[in-house]
């Protein structure tokens, strides 16, 4: 049983404060991953940029593409910050006895006109067969047409879930699921089954997000659900229940 976990940047960083790592949240996440592995579940993790990648990518306007010297510097600095966040997360996982291995997304991925065009899956598949936990991230990647593109962790996780025929794809969000209104709004109700990409009131993400926010996340969630993967969206506290399909307060994405 393979489960792909997309760990949102808002779950492990404060997106309103640059380069802030939520260590306590990462520890809770590691505990849940450890519990799943003890049940014999194979795990592949993709994390978002949060307050590490997004501010730098926005400062250099990397989402606009280009190959100018300043853009190349921004590419390298964004890579540095994403590596920094990946290593902080890997450290938390290692401290819980989880053999997590960071895989540089931009080294195995090529985009075309902002869409994922090619990803070399062989290293990931070999790591999984060895019993390791591959960890990728949303990243700035080479783009055949635009020079470079910012590729979201949501796009990467949906692609991996479909290509690797994962049993489940879990989107872990700080908000804990999809609501009828922004979660902090009075009267907001958790949507237990989401059957359409429209009809849900989505609040703006707190902090910086140049990859489309929740609306784009739902696009990729439905994409994965349509290829046969069970897709859920919820908080880190219910990660085990989501992976095993047990009842708990989270959102299940049902392909239309």
Q: How far apart are CA 53 and CA 231, in angstroms?
A: 25
34 is in an annotated binding site: no
129 is in an annotated binding site: no
Q: How far apart are CA 105 and CA 114, in angstroms?
A: 15
9 is in an annotated binding site: yes
| Packing angle of the helix pair 213-226, 153-163 (nearest 10 deg) | 0
End-to-end CA distance of the chain: 25
10 is in an annotated binding site: yes
65 is in an annotated binding site: no
97 is in an annotated binding site: no
217 is in an annotated binding site: yes
196 is in an annotated binding site: no
Tokens of 122: 């062989």
For residues 213 and 203, the answer to whether their CB atoms sit within 8 Å is no
54 is in an annotated binding site: yes
Q: Count of CB atoms within 10 A of residue 223's CB?
A: 20
Give the helix, strand, coil percentages of the chain, each rounded to 5.
Answer: 40, 25, 35
Q: How far apart are CA 229 and CA 209, in angstroms?
A: 26
97 SS3 class: coil
At residue 64, φ and ψ (nearest 5 deg) are -90, -5
213 is in an annotated binding site: yes
63 is in an annotated binding site: no
Q: Which residues are annotated as a binding site for substrate?
A: 49-50, 54, 153
Q: Which residues are annotated as a binding site?
A: 6-10, 49-50, 54, 153, 213, 217
Q: Which residues are annotated as a binding site for ATP?
A: 6-10, 213, 217
């Amino acid at each position: 049983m393979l489960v792909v976990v997309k760990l949102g940047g808002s779950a492990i960083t404060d997106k309103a404060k640059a380069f802030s790592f939520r260590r306590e949240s990462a520890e809770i996440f590691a505990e849940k991953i450890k519990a799943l592995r003890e049940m014999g579940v194979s795990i592949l993790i993709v994390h978002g940029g949060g307050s590490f990648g997004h501010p730098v990518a926005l400062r250099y306007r990397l989402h606009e593409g280009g190959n100018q010297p300043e853009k190349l510097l921004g590419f390298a600095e964004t890579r540095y910050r994403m590596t920094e966040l990946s290593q902080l997360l890997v450290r938390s996982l290692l401290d819980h006895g989880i053999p997590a291995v960071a895989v540089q997304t931009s080294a195995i991925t090529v985009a075309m006109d902002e869409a994922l065009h090619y990803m070399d899956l062989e290293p990931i598949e070999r790591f999984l067969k060895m019993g390791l936990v591959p960890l990728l991230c949303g990243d700035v990647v080479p783009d055949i047409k635009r020079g470079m593109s910012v590729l979201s962790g949501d796009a990467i996780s949906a692609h991996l879930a479909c290509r690797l025929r994962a049993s489940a794809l879990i989107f872990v969000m700080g908000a804990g699921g999809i609501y009828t209104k922004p979660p902090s709004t009075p009267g907001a109700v958790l949507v237990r089954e989401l059957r359409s990409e429209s009809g849900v009131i989505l609040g703006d993400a707190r902090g910086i997000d140049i990859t489309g926010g929740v609306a784009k996340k739902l696009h990729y969630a439905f994409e994965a659900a349509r290829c046969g993967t069970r897709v859920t969206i919820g908080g880190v506290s219910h990660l085990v229940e989501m992976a095993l399909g047990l009842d708990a307060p989270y959102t299940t994405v049902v392909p239309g």
